[in-house]
Chain A
Amino acid sequence: MAQAVPAGQKWWSGGKSPFHVEYGKLMMWYFLMSDAFTFGALLIAYGTVRMSSNSWPNPNEVFKTFPIIGEMPVPLAFVSLMTFILIMSSVTMVMAVGAGHNGDRKSVMKWLFLTIIGGLAFLGCQAWEWTHLHSEGAWWGRNPFMNIDGTQSTTNFTNFFFTITGFHGFHVFSGVIVNTIMLIMTWRGVFDRKGHYLMIEKAGLYWHFVDLVWVFVFTCFYLL
């Protein structure tokens, strides 16, 4: 749990790190907080528009396909797989950070590599899902799906879906790029020369944030 700060110390008079975290890590937290508000604004806009609609497409009907097995309906199975991939890659990222604490270069590289694979797998899944929805006629500005009560649906559903999952997918893509750069830097021994692997922690924070956002996207689009 949260660490206690010894009383009586002049923490804020300079020369110390009152929050006990490195400057860059603290700033990463504040960046992520601002990014959370960006995603929050998008998701809440979606919520507002959905609340102002009399009906909405049924996610169990829209997202029921799975690659390879054809037209057999398996509601939400594919998106659950995507969720699992992202949680799994979060775990490998924590392992990379942990290995960094021990200064174990080989181990950091192994876990970072697995994290990158996880990120690419997620992006591949999303690419398949987008392609599939597109082949059904869904895109920005067009919505082939009926509302759950059989009435005509507006394009709000597809517009929000593609915008928000696209924005999230772009974050995943950036995360994969960042992790790849971290992998190269680790491989070239940059962090060994510095004497610490704190940069991996910052990349890790960003990566977990992407997982965190997906948890909310998953709930808002696929469950509610």
Chain B
Amino acid sequence: MDSVATTAPQTQHNDKHSFDTRIIWRTFWILTAITIFELGVAILYYETDFLPKHILNGVFLIMTLAKAFFIIAEFMHLGHEIKNMVMTVAVPCLLFVWFVIAFVSDGASFRHLRNRYDRYEYEQSKTPVQKTEHHPEAKKPGVE
């Protein structure tokens, strides 16, 4: 409790100057605009297939990272903290770079290997089935 008492007035004093309602609303509009843009692109793709899906996914990922940046930097105020403190949070999160690349490529590799060596599974996964609108009643959870 002592440390709170000694550091609190200092911290508060500093933040008072950097708190600005206009920046918050600007961030809000940026986030909303990005979300509407994503939605528009997704629906346009659904209607017209205007871009290859993997390029579109790249666009979505960049948009997502931009949104994450604005939430962390402005809403969570991390952009206004001391650099050393920012680094103690940001540097461990670099693990995600390896994490994502390693596991996603592992999944892709597994798909290729299985398609090559398990031909039965492969044929099955390429055979269209009859579309059933709904599961039969009896199969619903809680009914049986």
Contact = CB atoms under 8 A, between A and B. Distances in A.
A88 B24 CA distance: 11
Contacts of B61: 219
Contacts of B100: 44, 47
B141 A142 contact: yes
The majority secondary structure among interface residues of chain A is helix
B8 to A, nearest CB: 5
Contact of B46 (A53, A75, A136, A195): A75
Interface residues of B, number: 78
Interface in A89-109: 90-91, 93-95, 97-98, 101-102
B24 A91 contact: yes
A209 B76 contact: yes
Nearest to B99: A44
Contacts of B55: none
B11 A215 contact: no
Interface stretch (A18-26, A116-124, A165-173, A176-184): A18-26
A224 interface: yes
**8 A-B pairs with the lowest CB-CB distances in the bound complex, closest first:** A51-B107, A137-B135, A48-B107, A19-B85, A150-B128, A2-B83, A52-B107, A17-B7
24 contacts: A3-B82, A4-B83, A17-B6, A19-B88, A22-B3, A22-B8, A30-B88, A37-B95, A47-B100, A52-B108, A54-B115, A91-B28, A101-B16, A136-B135, A137-B139, A137-B140, A149-B128, A151-B125, A151-B127, A152-B129, A208-B71, A211-B71, A215-B67, A216-B64
Given A30-B89, A40-B96, A51-B105, 9 more contacts: A17-B3, A17-B7, A21-B81, A76-B39, A101-B12, A101-B19, A139-B141, A146-B129, A215-B67
